[in-house]
Each structure stands twice: as C-alpha cells, then as structure tokens.
C-alpha cells in the first residue's frame, strides 16, 4: 500500500504498528481541510491492511502534536462552510472511533483545539512530559467543532469539561494525567518507544477479540447496561466460531504452553 501521494501526512508501517504523522511543522501541524481529508483517507486504507494491528498518530517536529485547526483557512468561512468543515472533522473522528484497530495519540507537544479533539477520538492518549492540551476555541469566539465538548466530558467529567471549554485554559501533561485527559505521561524521548511497546502487547492478542472489545466499550457508552451486556454475550459466543479462538485456547492448553499465532480469522 503506497502513501506517496499524500501531501500533509506521512505513514510509516513498522508492523504491527502504523505511525501516522501530520507533517505541517511550519504551521504547527494545524488541521486544514486537506489534512483532515488525508487523515480520513489513511484511516480507511489502514482499516483493510492485513499487517497493521495498531495505529499511532503524532505530529512532525518537537513542538506540536496539532496546535489546532487551521485558523487561516477558517477565518472567512460562511456559517454553512463552517458547519461543513466541522462535519469533515466529525467524519474523521468517527473513522477513528469506528475503526477495528486501536489508535494511540502520541502527543509530542501542543494539542490544542482540533488537536485535542483528534487525540480524544483515539483509544489511548500518551503524552510527552512537555505536552500541553486544551480547548481554547472560546478565545476565538467559537466552540470546539470536532466533537470536543462531547468527548472531553466523557473523558474528564462534565464539570471539568465545562471549565476547560469555557475558560480556554491549557493544562500541562501532569495535570492532564491527573484529570484523566491523558492515559500516560513519559519523557519526550521515550514517547514513541512507549507507544510501540503498548502496540506490541496489543498485537500479541487476538485481533478479532481486540476489535470487539473496542466496539463494545464504545457502543456501551450510549446504550443501557442491560443491552450492552447482551451485546457482549452475543459477541463472546460468536468469537467461538473463529480460528483465533481455537488457536488461542490450543496454545494455552499445549504442554508447555506456547505463544498463539493469531491470524485475525
């Protein structure tokens, strides 16, 4: 699979991990419509890859993950154009959340506005100890448009989400960890190695099972507990029709136990 035609995004596949890098360092990796379109394209292409088990998204350079949406592009939008731009960002978020693959945001610097929202779409957020995160849109007279008000509240709680979105304040990595906005903070030099280590542990497991865990937890956030448990029970049963289930249990029961060779089937 070739990604040579991309202009604003780089993709490096180091199986089982695909690293997606937003490459607009001079603009602090701001999310233009071109970047959003290319990220959405990449998400779709990785979805059908046989080799990739985990995706990491990060920003080029050492200053920013994504410093926000592209204000120069947004400044003169009409209301309908602004809504369409927000819908583009929403579609990208849905592609990441709905992916069968786990996505890890490797926040290597500023993750503000649309950058924070991009991270919030991912399954995990790992941050460098120098990172700063926030939703400062109110300082521009607007609000988060890529799902920030909703995903942030689900991550850090309603009151803290209101505070961050109403003040527009940035928080440092340590504070972000304390409030649950990020999942792990590491020295900047260790960020990608930490992401790769997590990717390796995930990739050692059954990919169909990993995909079902992601789908069920996400779907359960908007479904009753009773209905969610019923969905879990159905998926549990269906996985017993897979070669991965047979391989995983055979590997466990072998004498001595061996590593399972999962194929995603």
Catalytic residues: 117, 137
Neighbour order of strands in the sheet with 54-59: 9-14, 17-22, 54-59, 103-107, 124-128, 184-186
CA gap 146, 35 in Å, rounded: 14
CA gap 35, 40 in Å, rounded: 8
> From residue 210, how far is each of 81, 87, 179, 206, 236 by CA, in Å?
38, 28, 26, 6, 12
Q: 146: number of CA atoms within 13 Å, CB side?
A: 30
CA gap 265, 262 in Å, rounded: 8
- Assign 3-state DSSP to the chain and report helix, strand, coil percentages, each to 5: 50, 15, 30
CA gap 34, 260 in Å, rounded: 41
CA gap 14, 12 in Å, rounded: 6
Asked if the bond preceding 256 is cis, omega within 30° of 0, the reply is yes
């Amino acid at each position: 699979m070739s990604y040579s035609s991309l202009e604003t995004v780089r993709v490096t596949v180091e199986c089982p991990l695909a690293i997606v890098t937003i490459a607009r360092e001079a603009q602090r990796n701001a999310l233009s419509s071109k970047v959003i379109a290319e990220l959405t394209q990449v998400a779709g292409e990785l979805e059908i890859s046989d080799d990739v088990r985990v995706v990491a998204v990060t920003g080029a350079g050492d200053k920013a993950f994504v410093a926000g949406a592209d204000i120069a592009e947004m400044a003169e939008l009409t209301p309908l154009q602004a809504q369409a731009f927000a819908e583009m960002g929403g579609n990208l978020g849905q592609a990441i959340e709905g992916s069968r693959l786990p996505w890890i945001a490797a926040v290597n610097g500023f993750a503000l506005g649309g950058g924070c929202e991009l991270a919030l779409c991912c399954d995990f957020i790992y941050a460098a100890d120098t990172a700063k995160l926030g939703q400062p849109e109110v300082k521009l007279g607007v609000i988060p448009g890529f799902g920030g008000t909703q995903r942030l509240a689900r991550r850090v709680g309603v009151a803290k989400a209101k505070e961050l979105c109403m003040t527009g304040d940035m928080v440092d990595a340590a504070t972000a960890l304390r409030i649950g906005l990020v999942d792990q903070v590491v020295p900047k030099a260790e960020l990608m190695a930490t992401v790769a280590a997590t990717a390796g542990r995930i990739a050692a497991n059954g990919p169909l099972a990993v995909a079902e865990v992601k789908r069920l937890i996400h779907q359960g956030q908007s479904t009753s507990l009773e209905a969610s448990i019923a969905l879990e029970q159905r998926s549990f049963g269906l996985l017993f029709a897979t070669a991965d289930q047979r391989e995983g249990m055979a590997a466990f029961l072998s004498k001595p136990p061996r590593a399972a060779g999962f194929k995603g089937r």
